[in-house]
Amino acid sequence: MMRGGVFKPRTSPYAFRGLGIEGLKLWHQLAREAGIKIVTEVMQVSQIEEMYPYVDVYQVGARNTQNFNLLDELGKVDKAVMIKRGISGTIEELLQSAEYVFSGGNEKLILCERGIRTYEKASRNTLDLNAVPILKAKSHLPVVVDPSHGIGIRAYVPQMALAGVMSGADGIIFETHKMPEKAYSDGQQTLDFAQSALLIGQIRQTFALRKTFPLL
């Protein structure tokens, strides 16, 4: 699957904020030709319907994890919803966000640990891998880890991705670009294609290794 943002919530209003619905339509056409499924962020209720024909998984970003009107409406759709943990959100708050969607009738849910804001400044966020086994113990839902946002430093993304697998995650999200230094957003945490190919191989090996650990 391919995750990308056509509506980009940015801290600065002057940063690149995505190509919008027209960008999504173009992406959908190219993705279908390549047999790739699409995950993209929905930011408000009015976008759900217009995005519907072009997405496979709606992503609820960290800034919208407690946008309860949005969560209520996503409970009415018949497509999967991936909910990211809030920037300073607790594990319980993430589970309650999922409950909003679930209570509306949509049981196609994925939880995402993407790092939380702490007092530590050495990395972009603090990737809380404690959350993975706890979320899996407290729910039946798949859990994925986003090391790109979790640590925010390209050189350390592979280590945290593999740590995420060994913590029990069902999947990994990471950012890739042909030339990360020219990416419109988050280039500092983005792997190039060669680094991505290497990491994908390592992730597959680590998933295979994990099978020998019954607790995971």
Query: What is the CATH number for 154?
Result: 3.20.20.70
Whole-number CA gyration radius for the chain: 17
Assigned domain for 216 exists? no
So what's the pLDDT on residue 5?
A: 86
AA identity, residue 212: T
The two structure tokens encoding residue 94: 């993430």
Average pLDDT for consecutive 10-residue bins of the chain (216 residues)?
A: 85 78 94 97 96 98 96 98 97 98 98 97 97 97 98 97 97 97 92 98 96 75
What pTM value is reported for the model? 0.93
Assigned domain for 178 exists? yes
So what's the pLDDT on residue 202?
A: 98
The two structure tokens encoding residue 59: 């992503």
So what's the pLDDT on residue 185?
A: 86
Assigned domain for 28 exists? yes
Which domain does 190 fall in, by range?
A: 2-210
Helices 157-166, 193-210: crossing angle, 10 deg rounding: 20
The two structure tokens encoding residue 60: 């609820």
The two structure tokens encoding residue 41: 């962020």
**CB neighbour list of residue 199: distance below 8 Å, 6 or more residues apart:** 157, 158, 161, 174, 191
Place of tokens 């697998």: 165
So what's the pLDDT on residue 52?
A: 98
166: closest CA among 110, 211, 200, 116? Answer: 211
CB atoms within 10 A of CB 41: 24
Assigned domain for 61 exists? yes
So what's the pLDDT on residue 215?
A: 66
So what's the pLDDT on residue 17?
A: 72
92 phi and psi angles, rounded to 5 deg: -65, -40
Counted domains in the chain: 1
The two structure tokens encoding residue 40: 């993209």
So what's the pLDDT on residue 216?
A: 57
